[in-house]
Structure 1
Amino acid sequence: MGEHGLEGRSEDALLWTRRRGFLHAAAAWTAMGGWAAAHAQQRSNVVELRGDALLNGQALRQEQTIQSGDRVETGPGGHLIFVVGNSAWHLRENTSIRVERGETLNVVSVLRIVTGAVVSVWGKGSSRQIVTPTLTAGIRGTGLYTEVRPDENLRTYFCNCYGTVDLSAGRDATTSRAEYHQSFWAEPAPRDGRLLTPARAINHTDEELEYLAALVGQRTAWEVTGRRGAKEGTGYTDPTVPHPLLQQPPRR
């Protein structure tokens, strides 16, 4: 797999970008005009569905449309890739989310992740958040990986893969500015006086972000600059710069 470490997930779950079915689906989505054409023609915004998924408690079909206000869940062994507006999401297996409504049906204000894991690319916009049981992330246009762990009291792993994100967990807050994967844990209880702690880069790949970005006509930061960093979760292409939380004293 070669991209970041694995922790509690199989390598196969990260290799969906190499599957023939997804490559065909992504090519068809792009050739047919992407989100704008799908919306205008009232076609589905589901790029790929494997295994079982639920939309508002009912079995999701490939031809259906997911819009803001919906609840979406994937089952064991399932995964789901879909696009709303200028943003794209990949839900791994056993994931439950709510897509909360913004100004219109096609604007997402909050992606609420109850449990599971989501890779996401967000185009530029305002007043949007990812919310988990232990973390709130204000999004300005970025690529992200978020994982909520039910077996660890809903501890959240969060990676700002590129871009700027405002993070808060309880009384802890920071602004994450990343060139290449800046990772955090949002803890259910303080560790060494912190609810936000540094993390290494785990359980997602550069390739996943690149494919999601391409679905909405974007490129990742490292595709634009041609520079990648160390896969340590610090967020910088310069390996000598430490994680930003290591530059801040814990709050008392």
Structure 2
Amino acid sequence: MCTCGKSGPSRRRLLTGMAALAAFGSLRPASAMTPKGGSLRRSDGAVLINGKPAQTGGAIAAGDTVAAGPGSQAVFTLGDDAFLLRADGAVTVSDGPEGRRIDLESGRLLSVFGPKVITLKTPHANVGIRGTAAYLEARPAATDICVCYGHAMLSPDAAPDKAEEVRTRHHDAPRRIFGPGRQPAIEPFMVTNHTDEELVMLEALVGRVPPFVTR
């Protein structure tokens, strides 16, 4: 965790992330919405909700599928969670008796979560996580995951007996999880394709500050 002063990297990340948030204009903060409601906070390029073209400000509810086309991206909130979906990605966020489930069918997703039970699912992995932040990148052969801060259980679908528990403070344990036929089924990887500034921006949308930030 950064222990820098106000002029250090942590402060710069906070300011840069807040500058990114300012680009969202006059949209209401997530706290002004109903607890389970959500909206498309930003849409760059072709963004679909349940297969229909969507624009910034469009409503999003549990069970909806958000997709971003080539060269596009979507930022959206749902309750006390916030998401950045990159190009060529599709994700469904649903609620059930066991908590919230995030199904990333394809693509890259950065998410921050309020305090509750979360299940992250890709074609290769099942991740149990509690109120924290995570980056997922789902490709045909493997899934990359970074638990940016928090506690999670990472389970390869092809080898559930090789599940790994991670506790992180600042991108400490990124992993790559492979599909069937690859050994080992899970291995250390690298932090890639997401930034602290993006995490600051997403957390600010739901009224929080990441734990790695010191003001």
Q: Scaled by the length of structure 1, what TM-score is found? A: 0.70
CA distance in 2, matches of 1:123, 1:159: 17
Query: CA offset at residue 221 of structure 1?
Result: 2.2
Structure 2, unaligned runs of 5 or more: 1-15
Residue matched to 1:28: 26
Query: CA offset at residue 148 of structure 1?
Result: 0.7
Residue matched to 1:133: 123
| Percentage of pairs with the same residue | 30
Query: CA offset at residue 23 of structure 1?
Result: 2.6
Which structure dedicates a bigger proportion of its chain to strand? Answer: 2
Which stretches of structure 1, 4 residues or more, deviate above 2 A after TM superposition? 17-24
Query: CA offset at residue 101 of structure 1?
Result: 2.4
Matches within 5 A, 1:1-252: 23-25=22-24, 28-29=26-27, 32=28, 34-39=29-34, 45-102=39-96, 109-126=100-117, 128-150=118-140, 153=141, 155-169=142-156, 170-171=159-160, 172-181=162-171, 182-189=173-180, 191=182, 193-224=183-214
CA contact (8 A) 2:136 2:143 kept: yes
CA contact (8 A) 1:22 1:48 kept: no
Query: CA offset at residue 19 of structure 1?
Result: 11
How many residues matched? 195
CA distance in 1, matches of 2:57, 2:192: 33
Which structure dedicates a bigger proportion of its chain to helix? Answer: 1
CA distance in 2, matches of 1:22, 1:136: 31
- Structure with the larger RCO, 1 or 2 (CA within 8 Å, 6+ apart): 2
Question: Against the structure 1 CA distance between its residues 199 and 21, is the aligned structure 2 distance closer, same or farther, given a 3 Å change threshold?
Answer: closer
CA distance in 1, matches of 2:20, 2:197: 16
Structure 1, unaligned runs of 5 or more: 1-16, 227-252
CA distance in 2, matches of 1:190, 1:28: 50
